[in-house]
Structure 1
Amino acid sequence: MPLMHRTALAVATACAALPLAAFAMGGASGPKTTYETQGHLGEIIVNPYKVAPLTAVIRNGGYVIEKAKVTVLPKAGGVPISYNVSRRMLLTHGGVPVFGLYPDYVNKVRVEYTRLFNGKSETFDDTYDIYASPMYGEAQGLRFQKSAFPRVKPVKVDPKFKDRLYLLNNAADLAGKAAHMVWNNPMGGALEWSFYPQNGIVDTTGEYRWYLFAEPIYDVGNPFWGGDMMGFRQTADGAFTWGYGQRYVKYDLMGREIWNRPLPMNYNDFSHALDPAQNGHFFLRVGSSNLKLPNGKNVRTVRDVIAEVDADGYVVDEFRLFDILDPYRSDVIKALDQGAVCLNIDASKAGKTLSEEDIKALNESDQFGDIAGTGAGRNWAHVNSVDYDPTDDSIIISSRHQSAAIKIGRDKKVKWIMGAPRGWKGEFADKVLKPVDKNGKPIACTDATCEGGFDWTWTQHTAWRIDAKSKPGIVYLSVFDNGDARGMEQPALPEMKYSRAVVYKIDEKAMTVEQIWSYGEEAGHDWFSPVTSLTEYHADKDSIFVYSATAGASFDLATGAFTSAPNPYVMEFNWGETEPAVEMRVESTTGYQAMPVDISIAFEK
């Protein structure tokens, strides 16, 4: 058979095999398209920006869409996701953005919209069938990893919170392919950490409705594209900002890149915190990439610099904490459990602490890097959150290794210190807040402990101002009190440790602090999170959200090996209540943070 005839036959056979679905076709002599169309618009593109596989765009088909409403219909017993779509989002995505698909499932998506064509406006109500692929994440090869993303099991959900969507910012354990890129694994390396990201959004039935497919923007073994994804915050326009390693980024919920930038050259090693501030700037928790010490040596510093960048990435200010605070205050550092110095968890060192002689020897050595110690170039501050206060142009930081939340003004002067007085000297001693009861009367305290149910926070995370309840001079502060080195000591038994979610009221004029709410001591050691975690107020439901993110892990002291990953708690409380309205368990993962997600601001603005 001549070649031309064989080719024609093959084409005819292929065309005959096409499914009998509705296809958009051109004329006999004109252009044609062979994608399937449903409804009265154009093609469906799943995962349009390559990093969010549970999203899709229903293209506008060349029409003008004036308005639209999307409802992803639930599975039996599930939760629908419904939102209106603004004109801005319809134009940006070239059609109707669909968020919240179930993985490995043919989703029913209802789209109500108005279409404009040839001066005529028509209203349609279409239902689309959209399949989304199974979830994928890199396997770590560890015996207690059970799934690509951690399973989530609801325990209790009050109907008031049924429509909640929660972002889970977790990390898998260190993968073999990344080990030699990380500090001290076994020696040297180029990154602080490089834990494969497990970032997803779940509904209150525990179903994933979004996840970050990291591969296009992440490389676990590359120092400039690896690192630990941390510091997720939802901005006023509904997008997410976060950072990892040597980068800080902003993406919308559809996965569209707004910016993905390397850190400014003066800084390195982003982790923990990126605050999108009310002044339009971003406060990044970084280290100095090159600091000259008084003895002439140059070092990279560890988690002790706040860089303020504007919307275009220019650095407009910096807070060098080794210049602002006392980097040689060692009272907390000597009491830390060396088995849990944040994510550098070493079970073989559980319960061990540093002595004054250990600190002195370290300071006289050339040992620098991510090690608990004092002085610039070591992990003396371990700042894990920063929050801007627009009422006086200042920042509030959480310093884990000082067990203190500290407010610092634009002049780089300390305004107040919320933490135990022990070890704060000179001008800093005068900035330590005085505990009071609900009537404003002083509470009896030592330099590390207090009576009357009041306690400081210990190795805490997320010291965040509650904007909705604060006002100039009065700061309501939500904090996750991890609880290690509580009272400047290790308890007689590890099982005596506990964590708390806590809210304080600070009177900045009187320099007093009142503890107005807490949860956790009554939950006991099972709720104890030695590292990470979050406490945050949410105004839409007048609630306190809590993520006890590293609770429930176990290890064998004889071998120093973990026998299970943590099993974090997701909880949400009505304001003032100490019984959770929502409780969910996350299975077998190292949690960092979690938070409710507002899809209305993401799509309706």
Structure 2
Amino acid sequence: MSFKSKLTPVAISLALVAGFSLPTAVMAGGGGSGPAVQYVAPGKIGEIVVNPYKIAPLTAIIKNGGYELKDASVRIVPKAGGQEIAYKVSNKALRTYAGIPVFGLYPDYNNKVEVSYTYIFNGKETRVEKEVYTMYAPAVYTPVNGSMAQHHNMFETEVVKVDPEFKDRLYLINNFLSTAPKQGRVVWNNPTGGALEWNYYPQNAILDTKGEVRWYMHVEPIYDPETIYRSGIMMGFHQNPDGAFTFGYGQRYAKYDLMGREIFNRRLPDGYADFSHALDPAQNGHLFLRVSNADYRRPDGKRVHTVRDVIAEVDQNGQVVDDFRLYDILDPYRDNVIKAMDQGAVCLNIDASKSGHTLSAAELAAMDQNNQFGDIAGVGPGRNWAHVNSVDYDPSDDSIIISSRHQSAVVKIGRDKKVKWILASPEGWRGELAKKVLTPVDANGNKIKCEGSKCEGGFDWTWTQHTGWRIDSKSDKNVFYLSVFDNGDARGMEQPPLPDMKYSRAVIYKIDQNKMTVQQIWEYGKERGFEWYSPITSLVEYQTDKDSVMVYSATASLIMKEFNTKAPNPIINEFKWGAKEPSVEIKIKSSLGYQAMPVSLEKAFDLK
């Protein structure tokens, strides 16, 4: 019996009215007609596939319809007063996606998409200068926890300022939703730590400069908050030179392109666990992962799972070519900063009941006596003594730069595992490490007077900082430019008399690696005081394309006593190099932020 004979004329008519494409055999007048391809093609080439790889619902592909395509470009027609997104598409990308990739659709909206392209048929090239498609993109999906406090499905934004030369910016936002009951069932954070020590739901999206969501990651096809090897916080995003994004979560590290196409999604190598914070794509194609040692035998014979103090270097095939075990390189018993930190916010371990509390020497000693290990602020391997939150590779001398929050130190380490320099207060460093602490100087190279952890002349160290990154385009083998977000907790090795005296800074330093000196050349944030203060997370990163500095004060206005009812209000700023005031300020309301960064469509669609 033929397929055609199974369907009545009424059934066929209803299917056509509903917009379904029937198999070729149904449409043929006289039985089977071979493996023809029949899909609804609303334009001159192929069909439209929205969310082609399942994790990027605000993308689509206009398939090539069997033609060879070249020289394509795309324009998303903006809403009234909205930001235009327009880009060219390389021929390689047209082949990779078997059509024209469409990025930047407005959610819950009938988008107008203009495309131009050349198609080739029977050796003849035909140019289509402008073809318009209408594409509906679905509303943003976000899981809910049933709380009345959650009343918006992604971000509420306030655009304060965008100068004309930055109006084309697109910002990737890497934030989190607070832990809901589904995630909370599998979290065992304190005192033992482990793979699901943090289990906030990912909130990864791209905003335009009007504050509109133009892309987001629907994570559920690759993320399950109740499964140990598919869960954990998504962190460490970087857009690679090839335009794709690398990041990690829990026991995985991954690479996906902007359309949602998977390049790889791998388990961490055996012996390492608990990725979070930092993944650096090096210039040689290797990845530096901030992980822990899953099974370490301490000098006292105790076997522990270490906490955020190992950097594993993996090659393109996922093989571990080297690692940096920081408990062997630095001093895991330096306790000056740990004793001064506010225990109410130890990175994402936020506990309002401990706001303002600091650790005493007796409390630290008791941890050893009582065999307390895990994700707790303390000293020695097996505790959160280092809390490394960024790693960056320096190809000029084959070294890495790490930011250790709980040492308030940015440290450069060579391939030989020897420390090259330390940007930190000199207090508490011993032996050879004490000799590696940089000396502050002014613009004329004159030594700045410092006593303990406080210096004159406006110079300051960084305190519980994030993102100690090399500015590659301005640095060479001798002079090193460093960008850092100075969070500011435990500033000067103490807590201020009043909590609202705290402040954060975005800082740029110039380091003379031969003379072992450091000059502070730019800062921002001190003047904004407590309302801009981010006790945890955040980012500062130089942007080559606009000679600018991107800053994300990711937990601004987080007040410990109000945390259960009021989330932080992250702030995006971008500055022209050396400017005292930002060219961009966008506020995100009631969201727990980690990092943010500009997105390049040129890289994404392979035109670099």
Q: How does 1:154-193 map to 2 (within 5 A)?
A: 154-184=159-189, 190-193=195-198
Match of 1:28 in 2: 29
| CA distance in structure 2 between the partners assigned to 1:48 and 1:493 by the alignment | 53
Deviation for aligned residue 1:266: 1.1
Q: CA deviation at 1:190?
A: 4.6
Q: Is the Cα–Cα contact under 8 Å of residues 168 and 595 in structure 1 kept in the other structure?
A: yes
* Distance 1:508-1:6 versus aligned 2 partners, 3 A rule: closer
User: Out of 28, 32, 57, which is 1:53 matched to?
Assistant: 57
Match of 2:580 in 1: 578
CA contact (8 A) 2:189 2:375 kept: no
Work out which of the residue numbers 438, 444, 449 in structure 2 matches 1:439. Answer: 444
Q: How do 1:370-389 and structure 2 match up within 5 A?
A: 370-389=375-394
Q: Does 1:104 align with 2:108?
A: yes
Task: Decide whether aligned partners of structure 1 residues 44 and 502 sit closer, same or farther in structure 2, where only a CA change above 3 A counts.
Answer: same
Match of 1:275 in 2: 280
Cα distance, 1:522–1:221 mapped onto 2, change above 3 Å: same
User: What amino acid sits opposite 2:586 in the alignment?
Assistant: M
- C-alpha offsets along residues 219-264 of structure 1, whole Å, 9 cap, x if unaligned? 0121100000000000000000000000000000000000000000
For the residues of structure 1 that align with 2:406 and 2:436, how far apart are their CA atoms? 18
Cα distance in 2 for partners of 1:176, 1:241 equals: 29
User: Corresponding residue for 2:292?
Assistant: 287
Aligned partner of 2:214 among 194, 209, 227? 209
**Which residue does the alignment assign to 1:405?**
410
Confirm or deny that 1:483 pairs with 2:485.
no
Matched-pair contact (CA < 8 Å) for 2:351–2:560: no
For 2:83, the equivalent position in structure 1 comes to 79
CA shift, 1:188, in A, is 7.0
Q: 1:504 aligns with which of 509, 512, 534?
A: 509
Query: For 1:2-151, what aligned pairs fall within 5 Å after superposition?
Result: 8-15=8-15, 17-18=17-18, 27-29=28-30, 30=33, 35-124=39-128, 125-151=130-156
Q: Which residue identity lines up with residue 17 of structure 1 in the other structure?
A: V
| 1:185 shift after superposition | 6.9
**Aligned equivalents of 1:191, 1:18: Cα separation in 2:** 46
Other-structure match for 1:322: 327
Instruction: Give the deviation of 1:604 after TM superposition.
Output: 3.1
What is the CA–CA distance in structure 1 between the aligned matches of 2:237 and 2:19, rounded to whole Å?
44
How far does residue 334 in structure 1 lie from its aligned partner after superposition?
A: 0.2
Structure 1 contact 468–539 (Cα < 8 Å) conserved: yes
Alpha-carbon distance in 2 for matches of 1:556, 1:357: 26
Amino acid paired to 1:55: T
After superposition, what is the alpha-carbon deviation per residue over 1:383-435, rounded to whole angstroms, capped at 9, x for unaligned? Answer: 00000000000000000000000000000000000000000011011000000
Q: Pick closer, same or farther for the CA change 1:187–1:237 going to 2, 3 Å.
A: closer
Contact 2:191 2:373 in 1 (8 A): no
How far 1:140 sits from its partner (Å)? 2.9
Q: Which runs of 5+ in 2 are unaligned?
A: none
> Is residue 263 of structure 1 aligned with residue 265 of structure 2?
no
Equivalent position amino acid for 2:598 in 1: P
Residue 35 of structure 1 and its aligned partner are, at CA, apart by: 4.0
Percent identity of the aligned residues? 61
CA distance in 1, matches of 2:220, 2:529: 39
Q: Deviations over 1:56-79 (max 9, x none)?
A: 011100001122111111111111
- C-alpha separation in 2, matches of 1:369 and 1:385: 20
Q: Over the residues paired in the alignment, what is the CA RMSD in angstroms? A: 2.0
Q: Indicate if the aligned counterparts of 2:278 and 2:390 stay in contact, CA closer than 8 A.
A: yes
Checking the alignment, whether the CA contact within 8 Å between 2:339 and 2:358 is kept in structure 1 is yes
The SS at the match of 2:363 is helix
- Structure 1 stretch displaced more, 58-67 or 161-170: 58-67
C-alpha distance 602-5 of structure 1, shift in aligned 2 (>3 A): closer
1:565 paired to 2:570: no
Partner of 1:474: 479
Shift of 1:131: 0.7
Worse-matched range after superposition: 363-372 or 394-403? 363-372
CA separation of 1:195/1:20 partners in 2, compared to 1, >3 Å: closer, same or farther? closer
* 1:360-375 equivalence runs, <5 A: 360-375=365-380
What is the number of equivalent residue pairs in this alignment? Answer: 599
Instruction: Look up the SS of the partner of 1:328 in the other structure.
Output: coil
Whether the 8 Å CA contact 1:181–1:190 is kept in 2: the answer is no
1:285-313 Cα deviation digits (max 9, x unpaired): 00001001122221110000000000110
Give, in whole Å, the separation in 2 of the partners of 1:407 and 1:514. 16
Residue aligned with 1:306, SS: strand
Deviation at 1:106, TM superposition (A): 0.8
Of 146-155 and 539-548, deviating more is 146-155
Deviations 1:154-193, CA, capped at 9 Å, x for gaps: 1100000000000000001111112132124798775121
In 2, are the aligned partners of 1:145 and 1:588 still within 8 Å (CA)?
Answer: no
Partner of 2:363: 358
Partner of 1:599: 601
Any conservation in 1 of the 2:355–2:561 contact (CA below 8 Å)? Answer: no
How far apart are 1:26 and its partner, in Å?
6.0
Distance of 1:46 and 1:276 partners within structure 2: 30
Distance 2:496 2:200 in 1: 31
Q: Amino acid of the residue matched to residue 480 of structure 2? A: V
Say yes or no: does 1:307 pair with 2:312.
yes
Equivalent of residue 587 in structure 1, options 589, 594, 597: 589
Q: Structure 1 residue 366: deviation in Å?
A: 1.2
Segment of structure 1 superposing worse, 490-499 or 177-186? 177-186
Aligned 8 A contact 1:26 1:33 in 2 = no
CA shift digits 1:438-468 (9 cap, x unpaired): 1110100012010000000000000000011
Displacement of 1:9 in angstroms is: 4.7
Q: Single out whichever of 24-33 and 224-233 deviates more from structure 2.
A: 24-33
C-alpha contact (below 8 Å) 1:181/1:189 kept by paired residues? no
- Separation in structure 2 between the aligned mates of residue 143 and residue 348 of structure 1, nearest angstrom: 23
1:68-115 CA-to-partner distances (Å, cap 9, x unmatched) read 111111111111111111111111111111111111111111110000
Q: Deviations over 1:491-532 (max 9, x none)?
A: 000000000000000000000000000000000100000000
In the TM superposition, what whole-angstrom CA distance separates every residue of 1:197-240 from its partner, at most 9, and x where no partner exists? 00000100011111000000000121100000000000000000
Pick closer, same or farther for the CA change 1:20–1:483 going to 2, 3 Å.
closer
Offset of 1:33 from its aligned partner? 6.3
Aligned to 1:217, the other structure's residue is in SS state coil
Contact kept? 1:179, 1:185, Cα under 8 Å: no
Between 1:234-243 and 1:186-195, the stretch displaced more is 186-195
Equivalent residue, structure 2, for 1:251: 256
Q: Is this contact kept in 2: 1:180–1:189, CA < 8 A?
A: no
SS, match of residue 289 in structure 2: strand
Counterparts in 2 of 1:320 and 1:401: CA distance versus 1, 3 Å: same
Distance 1:188 1:78 in 2: 45
C-alpha contact 2:575 2:581 (8 A) present in aligned 1: yes
CA distance in 2, matches of 1:204, 1:20: 39
CA distance in 1, matches of 2:365, 2:468: 30
The DSSP-based 3-state class of the residue aligned with 1:357 is: helix
**Cα distance in 2 between the residues matched to 1:553 and 1:418:** 27
Does the Cα contact within 8 Å between 2:192 and 2:375 map onto a contact in 1? no
Q: For the Cα contact (< 8 Å) 2:189–2:196, is it kept in 1?
A: no
CA contact (8 A) 1:371 1:379 kept: yes
Report the 3-state secondary structure (helix = DSSP H, G, I; strand = E; otherwise coil) of the residue aligned with 1:301: coil
